[in-house]
Amino acid sequence: MQTANDRLPDVDALASCASEAVRDYPLTSLLVVFGVGVAVGLVLVDSLGPTVAKALEAEPSATEKLGRQIGEALKAALPETVRQHFAA
């Protein structure tokens, strides 16, 4: 059975290999890391989708609410014949 000290050289060799690959292929390494980040982000958005979408949903402003209320009040106050002209 391996102990933690026996596994450390493997980790060091792996880190050395990764560093060398990044030095040799910087653009490819950047694109791979970017792709992994996008994939992780998509997984998180998919798993938290409804929660995040509801939190980001735009709440109508006070001006929009007031405008709707005024419009509804005017519609209710107008006679039916005049209201038909504004139905479009």
- Tell me the three state secondary structure of residue 87: coil
Q: What is the pLDDT of residues 17-71, one digit of tens each?
A: 889 989 999 999 999 999 999 999 888 878 877 776 677 777 788 898 898 898 8
Compute, in degrees rounded to 10, the torsion defined by CA atoms 69, 74, 75, 78.
160
Q: What is this structure's pTM?
A: 0.45
Q: Residue 30 — φ and ψ, nearest 5°?
A: -60, -45
pLDDT value at residue 4:
58
In whole angstroms, give the CA distance from residue 41 to residue 47: 10
User: Which residue did the predictor score with more confidence, 5 or 18?
Assistant: 18
Q: What sections of 1-61 are H helices per DSSP?
A: 4-24, 26-56
What one-letter code names the amino acid at 27? L
